[in-house]
Structure 1
Amino acid sequence: MLSGEVYDAVNPRFIEMLMTTRDKLWEFNNLRPYEMDKMKDILRGLLGSHGKNFHVNQPFRCDYGCNIHIGENFFANFNLTILDEAEVRIGDNCFIGPNVSIFTACHPLDAASRDTGVEWAEPVTIGDSVWIGGNATILPGVTIGDNVVIGAGSVVTRNIPSGVVVGGNPARIIKKV
């Protein structure tokens, strides 16, 4: 799965891992808002790696968690969803607005192949000092450079260079910063 090869997404081992993660997320998402230490403990045990200073608002959803790596000074607002069949690496000083989705899973276009449960995954990399506006979607295989602003509601379908503001569907460069 992590190598980008086609795999059986309904393999019982994967399903078991997904259920374990969902159980941890259920606990995280159902803590009282003031139980921040417990929230951080759950995320520390779930994420692949993280900086010392990070915050994720409830609710948060992901598939495995262990394939997510966040840097220092990370903030995610409500309803972050990360489908982390491949690695998702997010740099330092990143701010993610509400209702953002980051996807790594890919599915065949051919219905007969898709119906078998096979898929593959492509990693997502997000640089340092990136702000992703609310309701944005980052698609599989995308790399976003440093010092980037992704406008609210954008759908990022291709790599984004450093030092730009992008927006739209599909997202395109609006200006350099």
Structure 2
Amino acid sequence: MKDRMLAGEPYLADEPEILADLDRAARLMERFNSSPASDPAGRLAALRDLLGGLGEDTWVRPPLYVDYGTRITIGPRSFVNFNAVLLDVAPITIGADVQIGPNV
């Protein structure tokens, strides 16, 4: 089913590998979203672990919600404001110098 998902074909998300990927993302989202503002290095580390790619000088404000995280790439010097929801069943590429407002 994961191969079907990655190919953009219809799939069922109850397959063990997909469920494991969802669980991984949920744990990393929780770590990022609950990270204290006083620990920007820890917050950045959680975000780097969650996402497929994160450019230099990019800032994402929690909370952030994703399906898998690994299929999201954010380019350098971009900014993502509070409450972003990025449903990455399909790849999401956010380029350089992008500004995303709250609740997107």
In the superposition, the TM-score normalised over structure 1's length comes to 0.54
Shift of 1:12: 2.3
Q: Secondary structure at the match of 2:37?
A: coil
The answer to whether structure 1 residue 61 and structure 2 residue 55 are counterparts is no
Q: CA RMSD in A?
A: 1.0
Q: Is the 8 A contact 2:62 2:82 kept in 1?
A: yes
Q: Is the 8 A contact 2:25 2:68 kept in 1?
A: yes
Unaligned runs of 5+ in 2: none
1:87 equivalent among 70, 76, 91: 91
The answer to whether structure 1 residue 77 and structure 2 residue 81 are counterparts is yes
- Percent identity between the aligned chains? 38
Alignment-derived partner of residue 40 in structure 1: 44
> CA–CA distance in 2 between the matches of 1:21 and 1:51?
19
> CA–CA distance in 1 between the matches of 2:31 and 2:48?
14
> CA–CA distance in 1 between the matches of 2:83 and 2:67?
14
4+ residue stretches of structure 1 with deviation over 2 A? none
| Alignment: residue pair count | 100
**Bigger strand share:** 1
> CA–CA distance in 1 between the matches of 2:32 and 2:48?
11
Alignment-derived partner of residue 14 in structure 1: 18
Where do 1:156-175 residues align within 5 Å? Answer: none
> CA–CA distance in 2 between the matches of 1:31 and 1:49?
19
Larger Rg: 1
Q: Is the 8 A contact 2:66 2:86 kept in 1?
A: yes
**Of the two structures, which has the highest relative contact order with CA contacts closer than 8 Å and spacing of 6 or more?**
2
In the superposition, the TM-score normalised over structure 2's length comes to 0.90
Unaligned runs of 5+ in 1: 101-177
Shift of 1:56: 0.6
